Amino acid sequence: MELWNFYLSGILYGICERTKDCVCHRPLDVHTGLFKEWEELTEDETWYLELGKMNVRHILLKLPDYEAGISEVTKEKAARFTTPSGEIYERKSKDSFVQRNIKFPVDLITEEGTVVAFVTPFRDQCAVLVKEGFEDRTILNEWKTINETPLFTVKPPVTEMVAMRDNIRLATDIYLPEGAGRVPTVLVRTPYGKTIGTAAYYRFVQRGYAVVIQDVRGREDSEGEWLPMYYEVEDGDDTLNWIAGQPWSDGGVSMTGGSYLGYVQWAAAASGNPHLKAMLSNVCAGSPFVDVPRRGGCFNSGMLAWAFLVSGQHANPELMARDDWDDVLNIRPLEELAPKALGYDIPFLKKWLSHMDYDELWQRGNWKERTGASRVPALIMSGWFDDNGMGTTEALELYRDYPEKKVILGPWLHSGNASYDPGGLALGSNALRYDMDFICLAWLEHYLKGADNGIDRTPKAEYYTCGSNQWKTASNWPVPETKELVLYLDGRSEDAAASNGGLLTTDSPVHESSDSYLYNPEDPAVHLIDMSENELEVPADYAEEEKRSDVLCYTTECLTEDLTITGDATAEIFLSSDCEDTDLVVRITDVDEDGRSMKLADGVLCVRYRNQFDHPDFMEPGTVYPVKIRTTKVSHTFLKGHRLRVTITSSAENFIFPNRNTRDGFNSVAIKTAHNRIHRGGSCASRVVLREEM
């Protein structure tokens, strides 16, 4: 009998037996701590998919295909093989392979050509399906010391309607470890439904934590108005106080979750509540005008899929997938967009549109601005291509001088630690990590239970450098071992648009020159994403887009040695226009020997907000204005023979609604074509400031 064991975060959740054409299993009953009787694992069984993104039945039945592929590459001394079902595998080491070109890969660990384990990393978790007896060949070896402590069983959840300070009640599920007494709590606050994905939180209860999962205000079974970000500081504060007052609570709370579930952590922390002892912050959303929905004062059209998802009382993922996004994005005024696209209004979207400038509505949701002197030990996780990456930038800026933090920044999308090939960027076989959940638990054990496990003595920053495909460590973020690298926009007048002939130089041009382009809001440049995927910062090849006459390109000469930049960048642009308002979009790309121009970072700004977000400063036609734009962060090595490119344009369709170059901006019915001019050299030395690793 060949037994395979399924683990998530070091905990055994299922025992499987494989025969030639059948898989049987004994899943764990978390409420009794016992394994159920043997039964066939059918197509309809979703236990392992819900827990660990693994289709265990399919994987085990395809075992001969994997081993045939391994035999083939070993015989041919090749690097890759493809299974009959189209799965692509690349050798990582003598005894391991990674799965390419897929979200939630199933990696292989082998011994003498035989597969002994399958591993799927995803965001801050990792699932392992391992042949019995080979556990030490996997990340499970790291879990040995933690697993010496017996696991608790999970009591069936109890639902409470928890009253906030204004008497609005929020639906709250409580999961407790049986017989544990007073315990610390892991709090999850979600707009997507407190009963969605609950299996992923059993691991905390089994290790001696209470888990509290709450529908945020106005969502699912909770009362009140659903206005994203507006109530989360106060509601988070009240919920923490409620938890601390419960007879099963020892008073200490950590929060966990990603995206909006990351946002609510920082909002709760902004309240200064003393019961919040730790945070597991993953791809957290930031303040409205720095991150979403009004990044740089523009309006993120790319977040419409999310807005549709949460447009009703209950989250509906089916509303995100459309084939008519191009038509939807062109609806004006935007107040009519939801009624025409969905057949009903979205109240929070309508309210957002009625507040053009940064006012009280947006200020209430700005956790960074509302945070006082208090700090909470935070494990901060994100990726270079996370569409909420600016939120993590704000968190890192806020906690720059705070010692009780750890940051892990990978080459990941918003979906996190889940793909070796985000967009068109092929990463190294080391790009994904199997230890994220181990680090998360260590953080909780240290800051909630006082365990001296050394997590506080590990490097403050761990980050991945694309291009050279290396994981690195640093004593802080931003990485101290960097220096300023300034690249000036240069070249002959108009070359940047006419032939992509603009230059980037380290010397400031003596004489003033300029490049101009015609920006027509009815023919915007495109931001290369699939709206339905709800991933807004995908790295992609922009070479074709850069051939447009309204995209200015400034490029270094071919590099004679590798160049590594780490951190975010600031574009300091001198702009004039014949319109009162327009947008600026800046991208940093890596141009390889074949001419591919891969986007690494970007920044956007509605120019009326070049001085402040709470008050527009419209342009006088023909006057030159200095404009600063902060980009997303990245660590990337531009290899010898490659070139670094900076592009400037005024639109990014799919990402932001095109500015129509009027005082009504992105929501204007009237349209103006803008003649925009970028000035450079002399007293108008437009430049980009980066951080180069030393």
Which residues are the active-site residues? 259, 386, 414
Report the length, in residues, of the chain.
694
Which residue in 618, 518, 649, 626 sits closest to 574, CA to CA? Answer: 626
**Angle of the 260-270 helix axis to the 232-244 helix axis, nearest 10:** 80
The token duo for 679 is 């000035």
In whole angstroms, how far apart are CA 303 and each of 257, 291, 295, 567, 657? 19, 11, 11, 25, 11
DSSP state of 656: S
Contact 64, 30 (CB under 8 A): no
CA distance 460 to 455: 10
CA distance 364 to 370: 8
Contact 25, 15 (CB under 8 A): yes
Residue spans of alpha helices (H) in 53-169: 56-61, 63-76
DSSP state of 466: B
Task: List CB contacts of 447: < 8 A, sequence separation 6 or more.
Answer: 254, 277, 278, 377, 404
Find the angle CA(477)-CA(478)-CA(482) to the nearest 5 degrees. 130
Parallel, antiparallel, or unpaired for β 80-82 and 34-35? unpaired
Parallel, antiparallel, or unpaired for β 461-465 and 405-413? parallel
Parallel, antiparallel, or unpaired for β 23-29 and 643-649? unpaired
Helices (H) and strands (E) in the chain, counts: 15, 34
